Structure 1
């Protein structure tokens, strides 16, 4: 089987390592089945070919595609440019792609949809995802319940559904929790790889990054700690099973 390409955007070593481990666990993959690139540490290979991979998985990070260029540090700008450089081929070929949190902003931005901080940002918290009729028919969601718990935390979000996309999951505060472009290009606003332990670590690392008032860190950790996210994690397992076969 071809490996999955895992692209990570987090410059914090502890957060990146935990996220990578979570992708392996929830995706039911071992290290020999993936090629990991931390884009804060290395560029995309100049000879990278999508033909060498079963699919692409993109993790989250502190950057926002809606930030103006002058507000970004050089690392964030380079990471975003690297991811965006792959999107024309991914969408043109309908190549298997799973973008998690930051990845939905990347996909939406590439497709020309508005991605802003104006409407649907969500604080670090548990919430509920509900399958749309199209979601109930999607192969990655077919074995999931109609409603299940997810973990979120994002400053920006899609203001509208991008052209050519199908709306798969909706939430009470942020409507576009999962979308699909074509048949094989997916993105989630929530973190399908994460559980309460993941969020406890991220809350500690990102407490001063503007996602929440720092004095709420302990309460947020308690609110996320025992959330049952097994259903959301099956989305990653279904993705890797479908495209890694």
Structure 2
């Protein structure tokens, strides 16, 4: 099988390792079948899309809609946008997790902003009629819970995007472009224990009040996120796994 490519932009080594491990486990991939490229660590090397079954873009402490971006974020986003143009033009299998919403939306002329930010925690996600029929949502209930935590969100999807899932506070939780390009605002890779580990890295980065950490942790561990959200990842791998 051709491997999948995970593009990471997390500057913290432990957070980057945690993301890789969560994506690998909940997608059902072996370590050898998921290539981890940390785009923030060094300039992106040439990528031949034909070498991969699909591309996954992980989350980030970057905000695509931020009015002020340092040199690192400017480089990373310039390289990601160049790759996204190629991915979308080829309708390459792609799954963007959280930060992927901002990058794909901004790349395709949609609108991203802070209006629908959500503090770290579990939210209800509801499939649209189109989402209920989409193969990446196979096995999901019409309503399920997943973890979020983001400072920006899609306010207007790109033209032609099919909205697959909605939320109460953040309206656009998942959409598809063309046939094979997907983004989720929620994190399908996070089980409760993964979420607790993840938020421990970001206590002081504005996703929640630091003094609320213990409450958010306890609510996550006792909450309604039951594993169905992982189906988005495992369905993506099963659908698009390609042989050499």
**TM-score, length of structure 1 as denominator length:** 0.95
Aligned counterpart, 1:169: 165
Aligned counterpart, 1:94: 91
The 10-residue stretch of structure 1 (209-218 or 125-134) with the greater mean CA deviation from structure 2: 209-218
Aligned counterpart, 2:177: 181
Please tell me whether residue 111 in structure 1 is matched to residue 108 in structure 2. yes
Aligned counterpart, 1:197: 193
- C-alpha separation in 2, matches of 1:155 and 1:29: 30
Aligned counterpart, 1:235: 232
Aligned residues between the structures: 241
Q: Give the drift of 1:229.
A: 3.8
The 10-residue stretch of structure 1 (220-229 or 123-132) with the greater mean CA deviation from structure 2: 220-229
Aligned counterpart, 2:129: 133
Q: Give the drift of 1:223.
A: 1.5
Please tell me whether residue 121 in structure 1 is matched to residue 117 in structure 2. yes
Gaps spanning 5+ residues in structure 2: where?
A: none
Contact 1:194–1:229, Cα closer than 8 Å, also in 2: no
Can you list the C-alpha shifts for 1:109-139, whole angstroms capped at 9, x where unaligned? 011111011x211110101111100001101
Q: Give the drift of 1:189.
A: 0.2
Partner SS state of residue 45, structure 1? coil
> What is the correspondence of 1:53-92 to structure 2 with a 5 Å cutoff?
53-68=52-67, 71-92=68-89
Contact 2:138–2:231, Cα closer than 8 Å, also in 1: no
Q: Give the drift of 1:75.
A: 2.3
Partner SS state of residue 163, structure 2? strand
Q: CA RMSD in A?
A: 1.1
Please tell me whether residue 145 in structure 1 is matched to residue 141 in structure 2. yes
- C-alpha separation in 2, matches of 1:134 and 1:155: 27
Q: Give the drift of 1:22.
A: 0.5
From 208, 215, 239, the equivalent of 1:212 is 208
- C-alpha separation in 1, matches of 2:145 and 2:79: 32
Q: Give the drift of 1:146.
A: 0.6
